[in-house]
Amino acid sequence: MIFWSFSFVWIKFAYIAYGPLTTVLFRLVLSGGTMLVVTKIIRKLQTVSRKDLPLFILMAFFEPFMYFMGESYGLKYVSSTVASVIVATIPLFSPIAAWYFYKEKLSRTNVTGLFITFLGVSLVVLDNSFNFTASPLGVSLEFVAVFAAVGYSAVLRGLSHKYNTFTIITYQNLIGAILFFPFWLTFEFNDFIVTPFHPQAFAAIVKLAIFASTLAFMLFTYSVRNLGLNRANTFINVIPVFVAIFAFLLLGDQLNFHQMVGIAVVISGLFLAQIKIRVAIKPEPN
């Protein structure tokens, strides 16, 4: 979660010189290419069965393709902190997906948490007059990323018990790069070839590739396998806190009291949505 929190800041640095598609494509090529070489050397790359290939393509379509489309373009219009608050609602929607696809039950506490979280997000993106303080387009794009991440988690849940972490991350990023390539050629290739090399922006892309697209996903996949989808997603709740700190220190972003209250409400609602209430049963008297 710390690596993913830094990614909201690193993306802003990458945008100093490069567009969203260029940032994502190079991030995925560096990550996927490195993983392919390493997994071949250490012999951890498994062969994907033909029947599971559509699931790998679907997983890569959700994330990195749709997720990064939403997140990367959304960050052009909203601050890192606002984006992270919206992305932190992922654990809220995951139980809904689990209920729909896997028939897992939703408690009243989960539904209450859902309502409270939406109030918190509203405090972050709306002012006292219910006008957007954040770009509606940027907010909408970040929610595209949220729903893409929920779809990704649902597919990952099944694959994580059949394939090791190295295999999943390698194919996920390579397929994602293939999906992004034609869009990059169409929309950003001409700008890229005339843009001078920018060391700081390119260094941010390398950090995104190593820490956010490789190590963070490896750790998260391991967590999903060993903790379960909902418990692993709960840790996403801390991302807005880390991003607010990193964005303040590195980008100079400022938060008003209204937004700080909203972040606190979002995090409270997210934790409430994950609580499982255990009822103690008193033993019957002999």
How far from 198 is each of 68, 191, 192, 206, 218, CA to CA, in Å? 22, 14, 11, 12, 29
**Residue-averaged pLDDT of the chain:** 84
Q: How far apart are the first and last CA of the chain?
A: 51
Taken as a whole, the chain contains a residue count of 286
Query: CA 154: distance to chain centroid?
Result: 14
Q: Where residue 4 falls among pLDDT bands split at 50, 70, 90?
A: very high
Residue range 184-207, pLDDT digits in tens: 999 999 999 999 999 999 999 999
For residue 80, count CB atoms less than 10 angstroms from its CB and return exposed for 0-12, middle for 13-18, buried for 19 or more. buried
Least confident piece of the model among 12-16, 121-125, 265-269:
121-125
DSSP string of 135-185, one letter each residue: -HHHHHHHHHHHHHHHHHHHHHHHHTTTS-HHHHHHHHHHHHHHHHHHHHH
List the beta bridge partners of residue 132. 126
- Lookup: tokens for 149: 């991440």
DSSP string of 41-108, one letter each residue: HHT--PPPPTTTHHHHHHHHIIIIIIHHHHHHHHTTTS-HHHHHHHHTTHHHHHHHHHHHHH-----H
Residue range 45-98, pLDDT digits in tens: 999 999 999 999 999 999 999 999 999 999 999 888 888 888 877 877 777 766
List the beta bridge partners of residue 126. 132
What's the confidence (pLDDT) of residue 114?
65
Distance CA 104, CA 113 (A): 17
**Residue 89 · residue 121 · CB < 8 Å:** yes
Query: CA 183: distance to chain centroid?
Result: 21
Q: Which carries the bigger pLDDT value, residue 181 or residue 224?
A: 181
Mean pLDDT on 226-244: 76
Distance CA 31, CA 64 (A): 12
Residue range 101-119, pLDDT digits in tens: 666 666 677 667 767 776 7
